[in-house]
Amino acid sequence: MFRAILVEKTDAGQATRLADLDESSLPAGDVLLAVQRSTINYKDALALTGKAPVIRKFPMVPGIDGAGEVLESTHASFRPGDRVLVNGFGVGESHWGCLAGRARLDGGWILPIPSAFTATQAMAIGTAGYTAMLCVMALERHGVTPEKGEVLVTGAAGGVGSVAIALLSKLGFRVVASTGRAAEAPYLTGLGAAEVIDRAILSTPGKPLQKERWAGVVDSVGSQTLASACATTRYGGTVAACGLAGGMDFPASVAPFILRGVTLAGVDSVMAPMALRREAWQRLARDLDPARLSAMTREIGLADAIPAAADLLAGKVRGRIVVDTTR
């Protein structure tokens, strides 16, 4: 038996509760994992609260991220005792996830935890931090370097934004953080932001082309914020778009792309190929300051994950939440 968060469909909608489950109830997979830590990402919060149709079938154990120890394996790459992690691949959406003491997974979805990280640190990074690293790598592939100019990070106090600031500042970039929470300015400068601006500057509609400022952008907000970021990106700059916290719409024009040669690089973390995932996690082990990771992280027990999800959607959470699935 193990404890898990279980989401069920009812006549009234969606019901989320803490449940005691048996291993026999787990879905098919060739690796059985003793989950030690999970986390709450934006997508997890949507799944737990039912605010968006993230879950594809019911009942579902949510949790798109997990880290722990292999208990059983028939997969050639893993054996009992291995320390592993999983991000995405439909886990917690269409396949039972990791907000639980046990998970049975496809071995093709999991990676060894880099030796630099504990299970707690791996989940402090989680999909949010791994996505931030993919965004940084996208900027680099398109030639964005510190000498080209400033990099904007939107949704800066969230998980993606927090890790992106820590990574970019360590790599030598001058980082400008955009947030709607002015009180978080000391937190953001502590992570490495050189300047903090009000998100209203970007969330207010403006001209299709505005004064050039950013050499690169990491955007997790979407909607008008993404449009404004593109309109203010410098000639030849790159915008890495990875989120839609502000909406799925994109009220922009083609002007930044055809008149300034701006690149809009879409970043997907869910189905990213394994080679890219391995590179991202190797880079995180090298380029993410453990002290800054610790500064953006707090840990909770499994029972606390449900109210934490509501807090995250209400904008009351900064940085990263690690869920200790053993308590």
Average pLDDT over the chain, rounded to an integer: 97
Give me the pLDDT at residue 12, please: 81
Give me the pLDDT at residue 11, please: 85
Burial (Cβ within 10 Å: 0-12, 13-18, ≥19) of residue 5: buried
Judge contact between 44 and 63, C-beta under 8 A. Answer: yes
Give me the pLDDT at residue 10, please: 87
In 23-140, beta strands by DSSP E: 31-39, 65-73, 83-87, 102-105, 110-112
User: Tokens at residue 105, please?
Assistant: 């997974």
Under the banding of pLDDT at 50, 70 and 90, the label for residue 210 is: very high
Domains and their CATH numbers in the chain: 2-113+296-324 (3.90.180.10), 125-266 (3.40.50.720)
Model confidence pTM above 0.85: yes
Q: Which residues contact 76 (CB under 8 A, 6 or more apart)?
A: 107
pLDDT in tens, 257-275: 999 999 999 999 999 999 9
Judge contact between 175 and 239, C-beta under 8 A. Answer: no
Give me the pLDDT at residue 25, please: 96
Query: For residue 124, is pLDDT > 90?
Result: yes
Q: What average pLDDT does this structure show over 298-325? A: 96
Under the banding of pLDDT at 50, 70 and 90, the label for residue 130 is: very high
Give me the pLDDT at residue 13, please: 82
Query: For residue 189, is pLDDT > 90?
Result: yes
Under the banding of pLDDT at 50, 70 and 90, the label for residue 105 is: very high
* DSSP-based three-state secondary structure for 129: helix
Q: Tokens 């869910």, residue? A: 270
Which ranges of the chain does DSSP label H, i.e. alpha helix?
Answer: 42-49, 119-141, 159-170, 185-191, 200-203, 223-231, 255-259, 274-287, 290-295, 305-313
pLDDT in tens, 52-100: 889 999 999 999 999 999 999 999 999 999 999 999 999 999 999 999 9
CB atoms within 10 A of CB 192: 22
